[in-house]
Amino acid sequence: MFDYIIVGAGLAGSVLAERITNILGKKVLILEKRNHIGGNCYDYIDKNGIQVHKYGPHIFRTDLKHIYDYLSQFTDWNLYQHEVLGLIDGKKVPIPFNLNTLHELLPENLVEQLEKQLIEHFGFDVKVPILELKKTQDKDLKFLADFIYQKVFLNYTMKQWGFKPEDLDPSVTGRVPVYISKDNRYFQDKYQGIPKEGYTKLFEKMLDSPNIKIMLNTDYNEIMEINPCEISLFDKKYDGKIIFTGEIDEFFKYKYGKLPYRSLSFKFETIKKEYFQEVATVNYPNNNDFTRITEFKHFKPIKTNKTSIAKEYSHEYDKNVKGDIPYYPIPRDKNSEIYEKYKNEAQTVENVIFIGRLAEYRYYSMDNVIESALKVFKEKIINE
C-alpha cells in the first residue's frame, strides 16, 4: 500500500513526491488526469524540432537561492532573461511600461518633464502598480497614468480577465507594474532561466524513484471514493495520507458553489522564417482577439529556417467542455468568500493536505509553489 496518494503531477505534487520518497523513503502513488507529468509547466519538442510550452510560456525566476539550488539538482539552465514587447500605437515597445516605453510613445518635449516628475514623485528603479499611479493628484502624472491605463492595461485586462482592472483584486495589475527604470527585462529576479533540457525532463528526474508510481490519464474520482472521513482506493479502505493539488471545489463536490476560472487556448503555428518576432513574447493589448504571441525559439535557440509560435486566447472556463482547463483563479471578493468556506472545511479534514494553485485557489509563480511545497514538507510531513 502507498503511504501517500498525490492528486496531480504538477509542481506542488511532484516536489512533495520527490521529498517524501527521497528524504523519508516512503511510497507514493501519483494520480494525474492528463496524459503527462509536469502540470502547466509541461513542454515537448514539436515537429519543427523546437521545444514548445504546451500551456503558455514559462520562465523560471526567483530571488530565493534555496529554491534555485533545489531545482538545480534536477536540471542545468539556459541563462535566459525574458523581454516582452507590446504593440501600442503601431509600435512595439517594452512591457512592463518603463522610461524607454515613455520615450517611444510620447513626444520628446513632454517626456523629459514627465520623466523628471515620475522620478521626483516615486524615485528611480521603483515599481508602481497602475492603480496606484492613477491615484496621484499631480495633473501631469495623472495625464500619464490615464495614458498608460488606456493604452496598456484597460483592453488587455478586459481581454485576459473579462473585467476592468479596478474590478479585480489590485494584485492582478500589480503583477505588471509601471517600472520607473530603463531596464527592459520583464523580471528583475536574481536567478532566471529555462531548464536546459526542458521542464518535462526536469520533472522526470524529480520523479525518478522506485518508490513513486505514476498513473497518467487517471482522474482520482475514477478510482477513489472520498467522503472526507472515509477514503477508499479501488474499493479498498485507504488509511494513508492524501496530498490534493486539484480543484478544491471539486473535492467538496461543489457544496458551496463553483469557483470560477479563466481558461486559455493556444493556436500553434509554423512560420517559414528563421525568426517571426524580436523577442519571445509580444503582447497585443489593443489589436486582435489574442492577447499575446509567443515564439519559443527565443527560449532555446536552434538553427532552423522554420519557427513555432503560439497565439494565446483567453476565455471563461467551462468545466462541462471536454479538455477545457482552469488556468487562472479570478481574484474577486465574491470568489474569495466562496474559497474561504472550502478552506475552512479543508482544515477539518484530517489526512488530506491541500496545496497548489487549484487547491488554494490562488496565483502561484513556480518559485512560490515550490517554496510552499517545501514548507509543507517541513512543517506537516517530515515529523509525522
Ligand X SMILES: Cc1cc2nc3c(=O)[nH]c(=O)nc-3n(C[C@H](O)[C@H](O)[C@H](O)COP(=O)(O)OP(=O)(O)OC[C@H]3O[C@@H](n4cnc5c(N)ncnc54)[C@H](O)[C@@H]3O)c2cc1C
By the rule CB under 6 A, 244 interacts with ligand X: no
Residue 363 is placed in which grid cell?
Answer: 496565483
Contact 349, 343 (CB under 8 A): no
By the rule CB under 6 A, 40 interacts with ligand X: yes
Which range binds ligand X by CB under 6 A, 17-25, 243-251, 268-276, 374-382? 243-251
DSSP letter (8 states) at residue 160: H
By the rule CB under 6 A, 58 interacts with ligand X: yes
State which amino acid sits at residue 93.
Answer: V
Alpha helices in the chain (DSSP H): 11-22, 65-72, 99-105, 108-122, 130-133, 139-148, 155-161, 171-174, 199-206, 220-223, 248-251, 333-346, 366-376
By the rule CB under 6 A, 329 interacts with ligand X: no
Could you tell me which residues are beta bridge partners of residue 237? 232
CB of 377 to ligand X, least distance (A): 14
φ and ψ of 20, to 5 deg: -65, -40
Q: State which residue, 122 or 268, has the beta carbon closest to ligand X.
A: 268
Length of the chain: 384
By the rule CB under 6 A, 95 interacts with ligand X: no
Q: State which residue, 26 or 53, has the beta carbon closest to ligand X.
A: 53
| Cα–Cα distance measured from residue 205 to residue 203, given in angstroms and rounded to the nearest whole number | 5
CB of 18 to ligand X, least distance (A): 13
By the rule CB under 6 A, 99 interacts with ligand X: no
* Of the candidate residues 17, 20, 28, 31, the single one contacting ligand X (CB under 6 A): 31
* Of the candidate residues 317, 327, 339, 377, the single one contacting ligand X (CB under 6 A): 327
* Of the candidate residues 2, 5, 13, 203, the single one contacting ligand X (CB under 6 A): 13
Q: Which residues ranging from 102 to 161 are in contact with ligand X (CB under 6 A)?
A: none
* Of the candidate residues 96, 193, 198, 246, the single one contacting ligand X (CB under 6 A): 246
Closest by Cα among 169, 57, 74, 4 to 370: 74
Q: Which residues ranging from 347 to 366 are in contact with ligand X (CB under 6 A)?
A: 356-358, 364-366
Q: State which residue, 153 or 327, has the beta carbon closest to ligand X.
A: 327
| Cα–Cα distance measured from residue 188 to residue 61, given in angstroms and rounded to the nearest whole number | 8
* Of the candidate residues 83, 140, 183, 219, the single one contacting ligand X (CB under 6 A): 219
